């Protein structure tokens, strides 16, 4: 709760300045603003966010409408909460809102300039996006398969040792290594890796700080004070994550200098080609910082989606059974699921879509920033306004979805609705120019991981737990994760596992 006190004390110190700058200023030609709740002097609508902002803003939108105006300190904010408004915005104003709204922590070490997720729209961003083309990702299929095989074996070994398994722990390591293979062409961590644990811990704390409300983000004149010491803490943690990445980057640079190169360029090769092959004893910044946060962000969102999917399958045994039957019919139990099988697993595809709809792990798309004054649906939206698209609220809107709070994969079986930015009632990866660059990778990983988990094991709950008692409490952060980790009891189902379950690569 320390940030609540910070929002009260520090704005009070700057009360006079605040009123001069934002509260009482009357700009000529201000134009009409969208409706929204009245805010407090100086701090605006900060306290309207609550501890679950996606739910709080969804409730407010039911009162004020799907296009809503808020002010967080000095930050003008537009909140979009319906498919109709989202379609109007992305179809007619996508270029005008193609920049990101950046908070102070993202500016450390120039992360906002080199990160795929928040870099300015331009040449560098377009180059980075090419790294996640379908062809590049398809080329690393064997590496993903190896990471998946290891995950299944680690899970079963842990189940034999401890009885119940916390699935997210192993899916996190698997996704981390799958991404690591795309970047470095090799696995990075293992279940008992101390260096990997240190990296995970440091990056998770960074993500926690980035997602917490920070006074300096809402009151620009207070940036130099860093009143909550957020930048100081994040900078210390970045030292750990950049050091981890730099060791791998340095190894690659040395290899390149002696003429040793991979047959197929990976993510790191392309980044090094972009900035030049140089090494001066210090981190080269561009690759290390992008890798440091980018790896765990992708790992975090994919892992959380898998955990939500398995949670809903266990809460809905009928759905689990249908997914199992389909896998038995299409793939069987004598061989492992492969990426090439996914196109024939229509019910599994529906399960993935329904999980992304009901539990979008990024409840608000990464905030956009208005590049210039724009007229939008009869309102004047000034330059630098940040835009929140509440995809969580849109995906539960009863005007777009029948029985929206129930988990029903069948809704997608005879529907062409997908998550690739064409259907604005369903935007887990965004839309337009800034649609998630990792979508092709995430699409493969989600289907393969969820399908492999269903195919490999018979699933049961711990004693005393029934499907109705499984918690679906959320924990809000950079990803909307399950507050209580899912723990399950497993038995091997694949013939190969039953014959040999202890050999780990």
**Do 450 and 348 form a contact (C-beta atoms < 8 A)?**
yes
Among 325, 299, 323, CA closest to 310: 323
**In the Cβ-directed half-sphere of 430, how many Cα atoms lie within 13 Å?**
21
Helix residue spans in 331-371 (DSSP H): 346-358
Residue 436 annotated as part of some ligand binding site: yes
Calpha distance 116→111 (Å, rounded): 9
- The Cα 262–Cα 133 span in angstroms is 19
The CA distance from 116 to 93, in Å, is 21
Contact call for residues 73 and 46 (beta carbons, < 8 A):
yes
Q: How far apart are CA 86 and CA 357, in angstroms?
A: 16
Q: Tokens in use for 131?
A: 């790294």
The two beta strands, 379-381 and 374-376, are: antiparallel
Residue 99 phi/psi, 5° resolution? -90, 160
CA distances from 227 to 9, 233, 266, 478, 501 (A): 10, 12, 41, 22, 53
8 Å CB contact between 68 and 81: yes
Strand ranges (E), 353-466: 368-369, 374-376, 379-381, 386-389, 457-461
Specify the residue for token string 């795929």: 116
Beta strand extents in 162-243 (DSSP E only): 164-166
Rounded distance, CA 58 to CA 64, Å? 10
Residues in binding site for heme: 436
Residues in binding site: 436
């Amino acid at each position: 709760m320390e940030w609540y006190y910070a929002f009260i004390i520090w704005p009070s110190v700057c009360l006079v300045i605040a009123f001069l700058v934002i509260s009482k200023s009357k700009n000529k030609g201000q134009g009409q603003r969208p409706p929204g709740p009245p805010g407090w002097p100086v701090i605006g609508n900060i306290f309207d966010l609550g501890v679950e902002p996606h739910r709080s803003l969804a409730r407010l939108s039911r009162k004020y409408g799907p296009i809503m105006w808020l002010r967080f300190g000095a930050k003008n904010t537009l909140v979009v909460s319906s498919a109709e408004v989202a379609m109007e915005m992305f179809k007619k104003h996508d270029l005008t809102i193609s920049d990101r709204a950046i908070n102070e922590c993202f500016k450390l070490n120039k992360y906002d300039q080199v990160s795929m997720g928040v870099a300015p729209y331009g040449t560098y961003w377009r180059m980075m996006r090419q790294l996640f083309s379908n062809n590049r990702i398809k080329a690393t299929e064997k590496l993903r398969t190896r990471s998946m095989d290891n995950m299944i074996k680690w899970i079963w070994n842990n189940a034999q040792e401890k009885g119940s398994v916390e699935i997210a722990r192993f899916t996190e390591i698997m996704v981390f290594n799958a991404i690591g293979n795309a970047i470095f062409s090799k696995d990075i961590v293992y279940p008992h890796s101390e260096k990997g644990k240190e990296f995970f811990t440091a990056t998770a704390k960074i993500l926690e700080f980035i997602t917490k409300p920070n006074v300096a983000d809402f009151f620009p004149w207070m940036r130099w004070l860093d009143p909550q010491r957020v930048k100081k803490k994040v900078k210390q943690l970045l030292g750990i994550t950049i050091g981890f990445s730099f060791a791998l980057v340095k190894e690659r640079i040395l290899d390149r200098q002696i003429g040793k190169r991979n047959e197929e360029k990976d993510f790191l090769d392309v980044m090094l080609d972009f900035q030049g092959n140089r090494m001066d004893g210090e981190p080269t910044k561009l690759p290390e910082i992008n890798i440091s946060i980018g790896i765990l962000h992708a790992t975090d969102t994919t892992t959380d989606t898998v955990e939500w999917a398995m949670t809903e399958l266990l809460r809905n045994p009928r759905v689990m059974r249908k997914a199992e039957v389909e896998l038995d019919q299409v793939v069987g139990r004598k061989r492992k699921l492969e990426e090439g099988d996914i196109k024939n697993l229509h019910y599994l595809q529906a399960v993935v879509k329904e999980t992304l709809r009901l539990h979008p792990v990024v409840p608000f798309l990464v905030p956009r920033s208005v590049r210039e004054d724009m007229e939008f649906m009869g309102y004047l939206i000034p330059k630098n306004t940040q835009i929140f698209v509440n995809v969580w609220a849109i995906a539960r809107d009863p005007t777009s979805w029948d029985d929206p709070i129930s988990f029903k994969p069948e809704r997608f079986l005879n529907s062409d609705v997908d998550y690739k930015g064409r259907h604005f009632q369903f935007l887990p990866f965004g839309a337009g120019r800034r649609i998630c660059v990792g979508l092709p990778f995430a699409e493969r990983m989600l289907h393969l991981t969820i399908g492999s988990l269903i195919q490999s094991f018979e699933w049961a709950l711990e004693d005393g737990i029934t499907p109705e008692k499984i918690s679906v409490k959320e924990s809000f952060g950079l990803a909307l994760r399950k507050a209580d980790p899912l723990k399950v009891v497993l038995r091997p189902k694949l013939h190969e596992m039953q014959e040999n379950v202890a050999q780990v690569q």
